[in-house]
Amino acid sequence: MKFLYKWLIATLAGGLTMFLWGGVSHMVLLKGIGFTRLSNEDGIVSTLRSSLPGDGLFFFPSIDLRGNPTREEQAAWEARFRAGPTGMIIYHAAGDSPVSPKKLSVQFLSDILAAGIVSYLLSLVIATYWRRVGLVALLGAFALFAISSIYWNWYGFPNAFFLAQGVDMIVGWSLAGALIAKLIPPARI
């Protein structure tokens, strides 16, 4: 029961740290890095409204990725891809609030769940405080390379966006790790 209490406190503290860091990181320090404004936004939005069937994730040039395209269709798609332009659109026809209670709640819950995993992992580690903090920083780097590098490499997300994600993940998890490592004692042999 004593461990469960410590784990819960460390989880909440780490999750809150990540949530607060995310606010500072995204709204102040790294605000807008990797994003470019559309020069003809009204015209593009008008075209999207008349062209897209509804909400979704759209990739262009497109091909039926779930079907079995013929060799000719595959070759034509590859030629269009090489010629460009290429891109990805996340589209929501009805719009949404940029910051809503639902989005904040989902983010907070995600940070809590991730901090719970980190808190449990640190309880299994026999190491000094700073090594355990370093381990959590490496978990931030793991998240960057396991997830964000996919978007950067395969979908062409900008270098600046990828680097900002690196700062966000590694610094954020270092801060959370410093607190979690204080609250969760190391494992014993």
Kindly report the average pLDDT of the chain as a whole number: 94
Selected residue with higher pLDDT from 7 and 30: 7
**41-87 tens-digit pLDDT:** 999 999 999 999 899 999 999 998 788 899 999 999 999 999 999 99
* H helix and E strand count, the chain: 7, 2
Residue 188's pLDDT band (cuts 50, 70, 90): confident
Parse the chain into domains and list their residue ranges.
Answer: 2-38+98-183
Residue 1's pLDDT is 80
pLDDT greater than 90 at residue 114: yes
**149-172 tens-digit pLDDT:** 999 999 999 999 999 999 999 999
Residue identified by tokens 């999750």 is 15
- Name the helix (H) or strand (E) containing 57: strand 56-60
pLDDT (mean) for 113-139: 97
pLDDT greater than 90 at residue 138: yes
Secondary structure (3-state) at 118? helix
Secondary structure (3-state) at 60? strand
Residue identified by tokens 């590098």 is 149
Residue 49's pLDDT is 93
Residue 66's pLDDT is 85
Instruction: Output the pTM of the full model.
Output: 0.88
Q: Which of 2, 13, 15 is nearest to 114 (CA)?
A: 15
pLDDT greater than 90 at residue 134: yes
pLDDT (mean) for 110-131: 97
Which residues neighbour 16 within 8 Å (Cβ) at sequence distance 6 or greater?
A: 111
